[in-house]
Amino acid sequence: MVASSNDAVFTSSKDTEKFLCNLLLDSTQPISDRFRALFSLRNLKGPAPRDALILATRDSSNLLAHEAAFALGQMQETEAIPALAAVLNDLSLHPIVRHEAAEALGAIGSYGNIPLLKSSLDLDPAQEVRETCELALERIRHVKDAGNSDDSSTTDISPFKSVDPAAPACSCTSVQQLREILLDEEKGMYERYAALFALRNDGGEEAVAAIIDSLGSKSALLRHEVAYVLGQLQDKAASTALSNILKDVNEHPMVRHEAAEALGSIADDQSVALLEEFTADPEPLVSQSCQVALSMLEYERSGKSFEVFTKVVTIEFASFVLNFVNMALFSPIVAVPLHSNPNCALNYRRRKDA
């Protein structure tokens, strides 16, 4: 998960936008190529990228659909609120997609989202969705309170360039205190998330150990966020714990999916081997996450940016690329690398570098 408001936003030609939108929505294309289009559209502004991402929230791939909802939240696209509300209300959709729609509504931070989030908090059958609504409601209230406060520390930008579901706890809180809050099953979800993000921002050995310990929490939502944060930190100390989660077929698919992406971000030999093994997992959320992570890693280790983005593409060149899309030769149109760490397979979602 990566912030929108603090990332670079680029302009592009209409032909580039059309190409990216078509690729995103083409279910016959490899999931990794569609993710590359999604990541590129995430860095563009305007109705075409937004509308394509909205359509993608209804995709048959729950992984892609939830990522599209996440992107809209990180972009803080207020025009996407009605579509995200419809996704949250649609109980026929996978809980991971509804969860991400709720989180996106919280990330956008509109006070008008409160009634819907309250309703879903009471009525949604999935615990992970209800807990997300609880978080989103608290985040909106926090944003409102911060807007009325003269204390700028309440609105600090995440060092990871992400719009986080909760503001980090006060930096004056000790790591031991944060650990106790994070592991306390009696604490509210927002308070535990706040402790988690404060520990992430600390990033020291003791803080990372506390985060790893919280992978045993009862809440699948919290466990999935913990895995996500460990991917942000890219600390190899988490590799074994994340590997155990990915291998546990009884774990919630949402948690295994985040563990797979975190392992792709850590990208040590053990992690890569495990990702290759689980590309055939019967759970699509897991297998597709492994496929995308490995594809990202392949591109970034070759010195290319995974995002498929360029400032200007001529009609002739766009046509040339379209002729080769089935051969996955989309990478030549990359003209603006958005990050530089060759070992971070999932920098798009979780990068710390600006």
Q: Which residues are annotated as a binding site for Fe cation?
A: 66-67, 99-100, 224-225, 257-258
Of 255, 265, 321, 287, which Cα lies nearest the Cα of 40?
Answer: 321
Q: What are phi and psi of 44, to 5 degrees?
A: -110, 150
Of 73, 81, 66, which Cα lies nearest the Cα of 104?
Answer: 73
Cα(37)–Cα(131) distance, rounded to whole angstroms? Answer: 30
Angle at 260 between CA 268 and CA 171, to 5 degrees: 85
88-92 long-range contacts, Cβ below 8 Å, gap at least 24?
Answer: 88/116, 88/117, 88/120, 88/124, 88/129, 89/116, 89/120, 91/124, 91/125
Cβ pair 167, 194 in contact under 8 A: yes
Classify 44 as helix, strand or coil.
Answer: strand
